[in-house]
């Protein structure tokens, strides 16, 4: 395989790994295999540590495709806990408020979802990498500050209630959406629309553009295969990859 000219590797990011963890591990193997100081590797679309699923890893010249790849529509399966909120809108922080959920039904959820389909304005979570006055919002939030984030235009092309358990008040959703959509914010907004609060408890990205979760390799298995796979090192490209990028 020619990793210098470029490859797009499809991986299934494990729970608790950061997106940088995946890139770092793959870059480390390719750097050693090519005998250089640092090998160019990047990813198209960040996933939070508490999320799993499709990540596109680009190597060499394929890193030039990152912007176009991450602009593709994304699909997720999300689990939303209704009746409780957290400051981060997910499990990164503890529950701060609980609300009654008496009478909550799948029909009520279906009705509430209608307002989130199509082009909408969405306010990102304060625990996000969005910048406010040049500072990352999540850093400000962790210091106890309350940054005000502006709503941004997004598109949710498909939004489906897969199932709802009245006993636990957990709903599973399938979401197909544009770049820049925060599923944590959707969980918050759905809870607000239902009047009972909500937060994200699980998230799996199942598609990025045409790349499906069924096409993805296990990260650990992929890394092991990269240690032995036959690689091509074009002579005219060796000098540029012997320098740190």
Active-site choice (2, 21, 48, 90) = 48
Helix or strand run (H / E) with residue 208: strand 198-208
Helix (H, G, I), strand (E, B) or coil at 152: strand
> Rounded to a whole number, what is the distance in angstroms from the first to the last CA of the chain?
21
Going by C-beta distance under 8 Å and a sequence separation of 6 or more, which residues neighbour residue 79? 170, 171, 172, 173, 200, 201, 202, 203
| Active-site residue, 215 included | no
Give the chain's length.
245
- In the block, residue with structure tokens 């990102």: 124
Quick count: other Cβ atoms within 10 Å of Cβ 25?
A: 19
Asked if 182 and 127 count as a contact pair (C-beta separation under 8 A), the reply is no
- 164: phi then psi, degrees, rounded to nearest 5: -140, 130
Burial bucket for residue 33 (CB in 10 Å: 0-12, 13-18, 19+): middle
Helix or strand run (H / E) with residue 192: helix 183-194
Residue 110: which of 159, 63, 77 has the closest Cα?
159
DSSP assignments along 65-98, one per residue: GHHHHHTS-EEEEEEEEETEE-TTSSTTS---EE
- Catalytically active residues are 48
């Amino acid at each position: 395989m020619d990793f210098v000219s470029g490859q797009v590797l499809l991986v299934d990011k494990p729970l608790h790994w950061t997106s940088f963890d995946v890139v770092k591990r793959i870059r480390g193997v390719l750097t050693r295999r090519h005998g250089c100081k640092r090998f160019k590797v990047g990813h198209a679309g960040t996933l939070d540590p508490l999320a799993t699923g499709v990540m596109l890893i680009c190597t060499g010249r394929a890193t030039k495709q990152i912007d176009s790849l991450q602009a593709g529509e994304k699909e997720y399966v999300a689990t939303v806990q209704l009746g409780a909120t957290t400051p981060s809108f997910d499990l990164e922080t503890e529950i701060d408020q609980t609300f009654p959920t008496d009478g909550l039904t799948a029909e009520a959820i279906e009705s509430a979802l209608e307002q989130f389909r199509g082009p909408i304005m969405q306010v990102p979570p304060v625990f996000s990498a969005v910048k406010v006055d040049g500072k990352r919002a999540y850093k400000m939030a962790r210091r106890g500050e309350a940054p005000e984030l502006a709503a941004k235009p997004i598109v949710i092309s498909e939004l489906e209630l897969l199932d709802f358990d009245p006993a636990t008040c957990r709903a599973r959703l399938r979401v197909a959406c544009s770049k820049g959509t925060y599923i944590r914010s959707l969980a918050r907004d759905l809870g607000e629309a239902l009047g009972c609060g909500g937060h994200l408890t699980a998230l799996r990205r199942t598609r990025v553009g045409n790349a499906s979760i069924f096409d993805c390799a296990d990260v650990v298995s992929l890394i092991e295969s990269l240690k032995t796979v036959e690689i091509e090192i074009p002579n005219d490209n060796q000098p540029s990859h012997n320098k740190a990028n």
